[in-house]
Structure 1
Amino acid sequence: MEKAENRVGDGETELEVPLETVCFIIMKAREFDAKDPVTEPSPASNPSDDHSAAILEDHDDDPALEELQSLISDLSVDAQIDLVALMWLGRDDQSADEWQSVRQQAADAHNEHTADYLCGTPLLADHLADGLSTLGHSCVEFEREHF
């Protein structure tokens, strides 16, 4: 269980997922979102010949995607629900007053495919960041420490 000071919230909008975890997921989602479509599905050359261009392409076995999916899958159910609710809050431009309702909808919709759902959502990082912002939080300190 996370220490209370690591969790996001002011009581009414307290999250089960630590702010640092959300910020790390946002960072990883940005890495994944930056990928280009695959131009050469099965290149015959080796990476040094093509200057490692394949690393910038969105392949099915992408390590950034695998890390992101694994991280999300390893979270508690409540933390996964909070991630989905944050994404919905940021995506749908709702207010902080609607948090409990959005979170309940996410809880009702929760299943074992949460990681695939979140990773398959375009602009996931932006939606999560907007959801955090709606609740009055940001990843500025986290980014400052990690960049």
Structure 2
Amino acid sequence: MTEEQYFEDYVLGARRQTTGRTITEADIVLHAGQTGDFFPHHMDAAWCATQDFGQRIAHGTLVFSVGIGLTASTINPRAMSYGYDRLRFVKPVFIGDTIYSQLEITDRRPHPKRQGHGIVVETVTVTNQRQETVLVCDHLHLVERREPL
């Protein structure tokens, strides 16, 4: 779906919620293969049974990737991802957990060098099925202005 929004169209405090996605063992194995991260926290069920969490945990980067992927529901030809700030892995995600992403526009500011663009910050909060926060970050968008400064 395409939704054209200029910098001026973003409203502070606007929120949206995604559908859920259940993290599977296959997700963890595939992510380990893609990244080379085969640490026992993710791959060794027997070792994990002796640790505080008692089971394998999903890679933080996997949770980040899926959580952000859930938010990609519209294409805005006036905007593009400009990066992420303040990324935190708050709680572990386990095989069988379902994650959801909530987004809120928390900042709009001029771009320091591009007068035809601004930066829109969308705070992303990823929660599990128990509504516990598992990840938070700020997604920065570079957004075209209707009228340059």
When normalised by structure 2's length, the TM-score is 0.29
Larger-gyration structure (1/2):
2
> Which is richer in strand?
2
